[in-house]
Amino acid sequence: MSKIKILQGDITKVDVDVIVNAANTSLLGGGGVDGAIHRAGGSQILDECRDIRARQGGCDPGEAVITNAGNLPAIKVIHTVGPVWTGDNEGGQRAVLASCYLESLKLAIANNLKTIAFPNISTGVYRFPKDLAAQTAFKTVQDFLLKNEVIDEVIFVCFDLENFNLYQKLLDS
């Protein structure tokens, strides 16, 4: 059975070991899924993001950092920063997006977290084309799971129907 699942809904409600946040380089919160996670999780998450900023500055695109999950059902939140789409993959944005998924999975394993939920990173405010983002995310996770047996479950949590349908097609193929 596949370890990859898809869901349509709100990632803040998903009961897994770790949920991933589509943050920005400041780590200080924002709109979209970032705003939803900070609102639902409470101030503990922002406090820890501030500590990380004090230690290492923010978080570069394609990198990931981890905090506790405050009031969320998950144990931890991994904050990763997706690429801003500027057209034509000119800045290697596809590789940066793949790196978001890969670094998040590695960080989950390093923290002994075995079930992980991802939002559709960069497909909101950062305007990454949804089909290209879905292909990139799905392939990166699929390849990772072939080589790493530690992760038990990866859930792609799609907020909108368009993304859900794209992931459904990838899962069926």
Q: Of the two residues 99 and 150, which places its CB atom closer to ligand AR6 in the complex?
A: 99
Note whether 41 binds ligand AR6 by CB under 6 A.
Answer: no
Backbone angles phi, psi at 19, to 5 degrees: -105, 150
Note whether 115 binds ligand AR6 by CB under 6 A.
Answer: no
Note whether 154 binds ligand AR6 by CB under 6 A.
Answer: no
Note whether 30 binds ligand AR6 by CB under 6 A.
Answer: yes
User: From residue 73 to residue 102, what is the string marking binding to ligand AR6 with x (rule CB under 6 A)?
Assistant: ---------x--------------------
Note whether 120 binds ligand AR6 by CB under 6 A.
Answer: yes
The only residue of 6, 11, 45, 134 in contact with ligand AR6, by rule CB under 6 A:
11
E-only strand ranges, 40-141 = 64-68, 76-81, 115-118
Q: Is residue 152 flagged as an active site residue? A: no
CB of 163 to ligand AR6, least distance (A): 6
Q: Contact at 8 Å (CB) between 74 and 14? A: yes
Question: Could you say which of 15, 34, 51, 131 is catalytic?
Answer: 34
Q: How far apart are CA 64 and CA 148, in angstroms?
A: 19
Q: How far apart are CA 40 and CA 79, in angstroms?
A: 15
Q: Contact at 8 Å (CB) between 46 and 59? A: no
**Interface ranges with ligand AR6 (CB under 6 A):** 10-12, 22-24, 30-34, 36, 82, 119-126, 157, 159-160, 163
